[in-house]
Amino acid sequence: MEIVSSPAKHFYEFEDFRVDVGRRLLLHAGDVVTLTPRTLNMLLVLIQHRGTVLSKDELMKDLWSDTVVEENNLTVIISALRKALHEKPQEHRYIVTIPGRGYSFVAEVREILGDSNDQVAVPPGNPVIKRVLEPVNGSDVLRSEESQFHRSAVLPPLQTSGRKVILVSLLLLILISALTYLFLSNRSTPAETETPVRTIAVLPFRNLGGESSDEYLSLGMADALITRLGNLRQVITRPTSSVLKYSRSSTDPLAAGRELAVDALIDGRIQKLDDRIRVTVQLIRVSDGKPLWSEKFDEQFTNIFAVQDSISEQVALALALKLSSEEREQLTKRYTENTEAFQLYLKGRYFWNKRSAEGLQKASQYFQRAIERDPGYALAYAGLADCYNLLSYYSILSPKDSFPKAKAAATRALEIDESLAEAHTSLALASMAFDWDWASAEREYKRALELNPNYATAHQWYAEYLAAMGRQPEAMAEIRRAGEIDPLSLIVSAAEGYIGYFGHDFDETIRQCEKTLEMDPNFVPAHWFLGWGYVQKGMFAQAVATFQKAVSLTDGDSRMLAELGHVYAISGQKAKAREIVHQLEVKSQRQYVSPYETALVYVGLDERERALVWLRKAFEDRAWQLMYLRVEPKLDRLRADPRFTTLLRDIGLAA
């Protein structure tokens, strides 16, 4: 079987669709419908053999004549074609699946050849057969067969006795097909005997354009797919932070897959040429390198959303996932239809993932510009909320200049789309770190995890909340779950040591942070938390060296200076500690320095009056560090003071 050759002007029409064979285009009401070449070939084969059942073997031989592929690839193409035709599940307006046999195209088709207006039409289905089958209810199989046998209408008229014979034969065939389907559906298929894919990674796409200005597309395309696939509950998708380091073009995909500890990965190439985009993508099983699915796209850039839809849906089909209606909707959900806004959003995520002061500031600008292009772009608001949350954590902006903006952006995102787990997580962090609204924070974290149980950041930040509340076993369970989802995340790994610290397991803090530094010796948070563990163990020389390293890596970050001043003070080097108080004062004249940091040095110096004065200033500033007031070991020497108890009560942390 092969596609029938056609003249230059050759069309097929059915309902509002027209296939231009010569130009290889599918149009709907005059608009071009995006189809991959193989999907268009499938449509042509089905139309040219309309009214007959084409077996799966025939179709696979025709579409992949020079390649050995699995039957699931055929299912993926059929699904993509049905979506392009706007055919809903079980509707069977155009394509009917005959269980255990194959597929048939059943719509009325008009064939137009050359310049002639002559049309060859396939008339509607046989009304006699339709009447016989309509009373049968409760069986999707029979409904499929009904549509399939509409093709009998293309036969010449039969005598009444002949019709009876045909009807009996058709009904027997329906019964046999249904029984065969039920029998086979209860047996294991070859795909089911293979190890199912439970974890997946999307590597940054390789930019073939060579333009540095288009680098954002490489990571952006991966990030967009990660967002979509991350909504699937049956598969854990590694977050963007885990795949960042594989942006180099020399990355070995299978080696990356093994390092990420995933069952399968998506590897792709992307090239932007003026207003067009070319994408090559494949889904690979990591254990043996076997391609599970692959496709090429060459589209107008404005069709990038259709490309993402197709990749996401076909990956889910290739993995043989049984999706709920909600998951299916989330899989192809478009947060914007504005390509300019989308490009700005991708650039925002590109700079956000750098996690530097400059990167966060640039990211917030791009997210804001994306919102200006599309005021209904919920993901851009969520990205903006993430930026403002971390701009305070990094002491780039004061809490009063950042957290309210984060909260406003997250709230607006949820007004547009309540199902956005990222926005619930950002809102929870602002509620916890700035509002000290503990009940609201926990409610938002739980909602985020209800929407996306595989969102590692939600597990991490919820663990920090639980630690602040003194719920140590729950906190450790949450941070370890985050580590299972994102095993290569440096911040999640370091945060496990951080959680151990608030539970007074300082050996665990040291062990976990040293483990993190084996992955990246220059990861500042790991040095930061490691120093905490050393201080509580009385290992002051190691603590000094660790914080000196952190100060060097951050070019004198005020948080690291304060930690160094604290350990200088408690180890008896009081002159050095006072010098750091002076440095913090000078630094505060040109940038934001939290009063909490000055308080920390005075705690080390055991100057309680000054320490409590500066803690009260931190309270007035809404310093995020105060959320740990109940569990912070460094502050234990102040707990007997009534003013400290009052401070705990004012924050809502009194026992």
For position 305, which CATH number holds?
Answer: 3.40.50.10070
Give 8's DSSP letter.
S
Kindly write down the DSSP assignment for every residue of 257-281, as one continuous string: HHHTT-SEEEEEEEEEETTEEEEEE
The pLDDT tens digits for 286-313 are 998 988 888 888 777 777 777 777 788 7
pLDDT band at 127 (very low <50, low <70, confident <90, very high): very low
The pLDDT tens digits for 467-503 are 999 999 999 999 999 999 999 888 999 999 999 999 9
* pLDDT score, position 632: 98
Report whether pLDDT(38) > 50. Answer: yes
Report whether pLDDT(331) > 90. Answer: no
The pLDDT tens digits for 453-463 are 999 999 999 99
My answer on whether 46 and 105 are in the same domain is yes
Distance CA 168, CA 174 (A): 10
pLDDT band at 36 (very low <50, low <70, confident <90, very high): confident
Q: Which of 287-291, 332-336, 538-542, 647-651 shows the lowest per-residue confidence on average (mean pLDDT)?
A: 332-336
My answer on whether 561 and 587 are in the same domain is yes
Cβ-in-10-Å burial (0-12, 13-18, 19+) of 114 comes to exposed
* pLDDT score, position 99: 67
Average pLDDT of the residues of the chain: 83
pLDDT band at 389 (very low <50, low <70, confident <90, very high): very high
My answer on whether 148 and 56 are in the same domain is yes
Residue 470 lies in a domain: no
Q: What is the pTM of this model?
A: 0.69
Beta strand pairing status for 110-113 and 119-121? antiparallel
Distance CA 487, CA 193 (A): 27
Domain boundary among 317, 334, 351: 334
What values do phi and psi take at 322, rounded to 5? Answer: -95, 105
Domain count, the chain: 3
| 337 three-state secondary structure | coil
My answer on whether 175 and 220 are in the same domain is no
Q: Which of 160-174, 359-373, 519-533 shows the lowest per-residue confidence on average (mean pLDDT)?
A: 160-174
My answer on whether 66 and 151 are in the same domain is yes
Task: Please say whether the beta carbons of 465 and 631 come within 8 A.
Answer: no
My answer on whether 295 and 160 are in the same domain is no
Domain boundary among 314, 334, 354: 334
Type of residue found at 553: L
My answer on whether 159 and 203 are in the same domain is no
The pLDDT tens digits for 232-244 are 888 899 988 888 8
Structural domain containing residue 561: 556-655
Type of residue found at 585: E
Residues contacting residue 352 through CB under 8 Å, at least 6 positions apart: 359, 360, 363, 383, 386, 387
84: domain CATH number?
A: 1.10.10.10
Q: What is the 3-state secondary structure (H, E, C) of 179-227?
A: HHHHHHHCCCCHHHHCCCCCEEEECCCEECCCCHHHHHHHHHHHHHHHH
Report whether pLDDT(164) > 70. Answer: no
Task: Please say whether the beta carbons of 381 and 369 come within 8 A.
Answer: no
My answer on whether 153 and 17 are in the same domain is yes
Q: How many CA atoms lie within 13 A of 272 on its CB side?
A: 19
Of 542, 574, 544, nearest in space to 561 by CA: 544
| Burial profile 350-370: b = 16 or more Cβ within 10 angstroms, e = fewer | bbbbebebebbebbbbbbbbb
My answer on whether 217 and 175 are in the same domain is no
